[in-house]
Amino acid sequence: MADDQPAWKIPPIVQELAAGVQEPPSRYVVGGQDRPAVAVAAMPEPIPIVDLSRLSSTDDGADEAAKLLSALQNWGLFLAVGHGMDPGFLAEMIGVTRGFFNLPLDEKQKYSNLANGKEFRNEGYGNDVVLSEDQVLDWCDRLYLIVEPESRIVRSLWPAQPPAFCDVLREYTARCREIAGVVLASVARLLGLHEGRFVSMMSEGVAMTHARFNYYPRCPEPDRVFGLRPHSDASVITVVLIDDAVSGLQVQKPTDGGGGWYDVPIVPNALLVNVGDVTEIMSNGLFRSPVHRAVTNAESDRVSLAMFYTLDPEKEIEPLPELVDDKRPRRYRKTTTKDYLAVLFERFTRGERALDTVKIDLNDD
């Protein structure tokens, strides 16, 4: 029953909490060896910057494709420039994001992800789901919306304030859809597939795009908390708009086998694009989904916007048959988008990877 929810399942809004504490409460404090200040390493090589406008160019396309291939094989992500969105528009998107989080709490709570003030739903404003009393909480508030397709959008959860929020988000969604198409076509070509192999999947059934607006308040002791705990994305790809003013994203290099953490550099007006778990599964491990985390800052707050591209909930996810043979046997079990997302949300709360539940141990043969 909703009225029987224990208090620990409904944590406070972090933005409100942060305004009145000198140190993070114990529920947010990460264990010593896992803390953000530990094991941040010097970058072994730069994260590639890929000019999307050149990927299909007859003159420069091969060079950009080579950079993209290196990025996906070594990092699972890249910084995208030449994406067609001018700095003013990106600043406007960041501006309405900040504008929403700067609204009075009563106004933001109109879009709460707690139905009737008690029952958690993924969409809306608030915190991520809390499944256990000893779960370490993230120093982050978020607004989570479905933005595509139109049939799945819950308009009552789209903020009326700031006044430009909805119009800017609609335009940004359309622009990001174009970027996703360019990237997915290039990914297919790099894998030796028809360039429409992944793009067509994004039009099947009810493939959805989810927007997650993140707000990371200033933290008095940023080395003791996570803005967002280590995780990988359950998407096909993710496109992230990062506030240029403050660094706060760290990534593990997949080819390091889960070793050190590296700061993702700030490149003004670039978008961060990473492959998700679904692409790792479908590529049979040729492209790896990177584990990443968000850290906080004692001096400044920070916002970001992540667009997650997912397949139809009933779509079966498994290695593509073109990428499985005797030399490279199947490395992942079959699942569906819906089942994988359910596992991911549950494992995310424990700091574990959903991908581990579908990996096949080839040493068992």
In contact, 222 and 36? CB cutoff 8 Å = yes
The reported pLDDT for the residue numbered 2 is: 46
Paired with 274 in beta bridges are: 77, 238
Q: What is the CA radius of gyration of the chain?
A: 20
pTM: 0.94
pLDDT (tens digit, 9 = 90+) per residue, 265-314? 999 999 999 999 999 999 999 999 999 999 999 999 999 999 999 999 99
Domains and CATH numbers, the chain: 83-310 (2.60.120.330)
The residues facing 356 across adjacent strands are none
Percent residues over pLDDT 70 in the chain: 95
Residue pLDDT, tens place only, 54-105: 987 656 678 899 999 999 999 999 999 999 999 999 999 999 999 999 999 9
Q: Which residues contact 193 (CB under 8 A, 6 or more apart)?
A: 320, 322
pLDDT tens column, 301-357: 999 999 999 999 999 999 999 999 999 999 999 999 999 999 998 888 888 899 999
| Measured distance CA(78)–CA(241) in Å, rounded | 13
